[in-house]
């Protein structure tokens, strides 16, 4: 079939010899990242200290604006940090948990790093409410809504779940949270760049994520959106001179917070990571998340149907409306199967209880998906996975 998005394949060197189905974990590197990192090195080499004034200092905001276009965020509302864990900790440091509104509500299928940060707030008086899954696929929206009440401070939840690809109904969660005076922070790591959404239309209080996956931006470039009226009320204890109203006045004493997005920063930014990340944002912006989603729904639906026909199980929702860009395929000895596939230059991964996680992206061809299924059948039927049974895959 005619697939116009395949013209992007040349832009991603790894696709020349690898079937790349692990976009939920590490998106392929755009070729132009070589140029961006050279630009960074040239700047440092030739402009030296002047580089700060010529773009480096402002880069957490200017690069944040590039992500903001994909998120539907207004310019000047997104800032860049290193990763989601740091962002969650920074947001957690804004609150006083000693009053009656001290509950943090999320689901048992949240990405664990988010739980680790919020669990640690118990020592400051936070109460953590974990809404369980009934089926190991997702968490019923009605269960989550029932847990949000007048004692809820914040609902820090994943938009799309990392294990199964289940997509949470953010609209319903925001409506309930706002009705009772609570805030919502969506971790959009597994949706940004593959599922269209708009933080402004959703009226999210905060949203965050990173660039390693669908955005093809590499490590070290997490983003934080905060609605401007919410931002003005927040005073992060994890802070620093970049968040000061006049950083170069070097005032001593307590923090005097800036009144723009820099309020949510701390110290010097991870400049090289921001150079590297830009190419992915530009490409995803150019391709368009609507087009990426349309192709993803077509390919993941076909892949899932064919996997089920071949006798495999799944822990992913069958309805594409309830999924992000990843599907899961249940096989025995999944870590060893992942290794056997990698030996054939087919990359996917696995997670406990769900089996293989497989994700095409806009540059994936239909033939590659058929090749993946055939290789999987061969590995399972021949027992080729046994050669890898002693080793387990971390990523
Ligand atoms: C939903 C979600 N949140 C967060 C993370 C990672 O967090 P961090 O950026 O702190 O490494 C992942 C990555 O695997 C994820 O899938």
Q: Tens digit of pLDDT for each residue in 122-145?
A: 999 999 999 999 999 999 999 999
End-to-end CA distance of the chain: 33
Q: What residue owns the CA closest to ligand 1's atom 6?
A: 84
Contacts of 379 (CB under 8 A, 6+ apart): 337, 340, 341, 385
pLDDT of res. 395: 55
Instruction: For residue 87, give the ligand 1 atom closest to its CA.
Output: 10
Ligand 1 center to 316 CA (angstroms): 19
Structure tokens that stand for 188 in this block: 């959009």
Which of the four pLDDT bands, split at 50, 70 and 90, describes residue 391?
A: low
Rounded to whole angstroms, what are the CA distances from 48 to 55, 243, 273, 277?
12, 24, 18, 22
Instruction: For residue 188, give the ligand 1 atom closest to its CA.
Output: 1
Which of 84, 138, 192, 351 should be mutated for ligand 1, with most atoms under 8 A from CB? 84
**In the predicted model, what is the mean pLDDT of residues 263-269?**
98
Percentage of residues of the chain with pLDDT beyond 70: 98
Q: pLDDT tens digits, residue range 82-126?
A: 999 999 999 999 999 999 999 999 999 999 999 999 999 999 999
pTM: 0.96
Which of the four pLDDT bands, split at 50, 70 and 90, describes residue 240?
A: very high
Which of 27, 82, 162 should be mutated for ligand 1, with most atoms under 8 A from CB? 162
Which of the four pLDDT bands, split at 50, 70 and 90, describes residue 394?
A: low
pLDDT of res. 2: 87
Whether 138 is in the pocket of ligand 1, judged by its Cβ within 6 Å, is no
Whether 222 is in the pocket of ligand 1, judged by its Cβ within 6 Å, is yes
Rounded to whole angstroms, what are the CA distances from 225 to 87, 132, 138, 275, 280?
10, 27, 25, 19, 18
Which of 86, 157, 158, 190 should be mutated for ligand 1, with most atoms under 8 A from CB? 190
Structure tokens that stand for 77 in this block: 């509302």
**In the predicted model, what is the mean pLDDT of residues 184-199?**
98
The rounded mean pLDDT for the chain is 96
Q: pLDDT tens digits, residue range 145-166?
A: 999 999 999 999 999 999 999 9
Whether 85 is in the pocket of ligand 1, judged by its Cβ within 6 Å, is yes
Ligand 1 center to 84 CA (angstroms): 6
> Which domains does the chain show, CATH number per domain?
4-24+289-388 (3.90.1150.10), 33-285 (3.40.640.10)
Ligand 1 center to 211 CA (angstroms): 10
Ligand 1 center to 131 CA (angstroms): 19
Q: What residue owns the CA closest to ligand 1's atom 7?
A: 84
Whether 372 is in the pocket of ligand 1, judged by its Cβ within 6 Å, is no
Q: pLDDT tens digits, residue range 42-90?
A: 999 999 999 999 999 999 999 999 999 999 999 999 999 999 999 999 9
pLDDT of res. 64: 98
Please name which of 130, 143, 132 lies closest in space to residue 103, comparing C-alpha atoms. 130
Which of 80, 87, 111, 118 should be mutated for ligand 1, with most atoms under 8 A from CB? 111
pLDDT at 31 over 60: yes
Whether 190 is in the pocket of ligand 1, judged by its Cβ within 6 Å, is yes
pLDDT of res. 325: 97
> Exposure of 233 by Cβ count < 10 A (0-12 exposed, 13-18 middle, 19+ buried)?
exposed
pLDDT of res. 384: 84
Whether 187 is in the pocket of ligand 1, judged by its Cβ within 6 Å, is yes
């Amino acid at each position: 079939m005619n697939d116009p998005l395949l013209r992007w394949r040349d832009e991603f060197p790894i696709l020349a010899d690898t079937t790349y189905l692990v976009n939920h974990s590490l998106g392929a590197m755009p070729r132009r990242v070589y140029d961006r990192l050279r630009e960074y090195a040239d700047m440092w080499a030739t402009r030296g200290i002047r580089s700060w004034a010529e773009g480096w200092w402002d880069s957490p905001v200017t690069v944040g604006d590039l992500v903001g276009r994909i998120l539907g965020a207004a310019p000047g509302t997104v800032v860049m940090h290193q990763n989601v864990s740091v962002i969650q900790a920074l947001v957690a440091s804004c609150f006083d948990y000693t009053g009656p509104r001290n509950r943090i509500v999320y689901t048992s299928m949240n990405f664990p790093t988010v739980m680790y940060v919020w669990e640690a707030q118990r020592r400051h008086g936070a109460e953590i409410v974990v809404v369980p899954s009934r089926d190991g696929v997702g968490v019923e929206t009605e269960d989550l809504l029932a847990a949000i009440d007048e004692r809820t401070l914040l609902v820090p939840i994943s938009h799309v779940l990392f294990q199964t690809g289940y997509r949470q109904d953010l609209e319903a969660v925001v409506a309930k949270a706002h009705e009772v005076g609570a805030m919502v922070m969506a971790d959009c790591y597994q949706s940004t760049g593959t599922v269209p959404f708009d933080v402004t239309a959703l009226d999210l209080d905060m949203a965050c994520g990173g660039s390693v996956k669908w955005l093809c931006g590499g490590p070290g470039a997490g983003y934080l959106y905060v609605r401007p009226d919410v931002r003005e009320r927040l005073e992060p204890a994890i802070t620093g001179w970049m968040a000061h109203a006049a950083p170069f006045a070097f005032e001593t004493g307590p923090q005097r917070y800036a009144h723009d997005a820099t309020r949510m920063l701390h110290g010097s930014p991870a400049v090289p990571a921001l150079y590297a990340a830009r190419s992915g944002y530009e490409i995803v912006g150019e391709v368009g998340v609507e087009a990426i989603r349309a192709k993803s729904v077509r390919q993941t639906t076909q892949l899932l149907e064919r996997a089920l026909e071949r006798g495999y199980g799944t822990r992913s929702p069958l309805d594409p409306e309830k999924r992000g860009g990843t599907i899961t395929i249940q096989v025995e000895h999944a870590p060893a199967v992942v290794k056997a596939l990698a030996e054939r230059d087919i990359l996917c991964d696995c997670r406990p209880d769900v089996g293989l996680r497989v994700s095409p992206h806009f540059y994936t061809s239909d033939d590659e998906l058929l090749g993946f299924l055939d290789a999987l059948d061969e590995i399972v039927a021949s027992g080729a996975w046994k050669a890898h049974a002693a080793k387990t895959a971390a990523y």
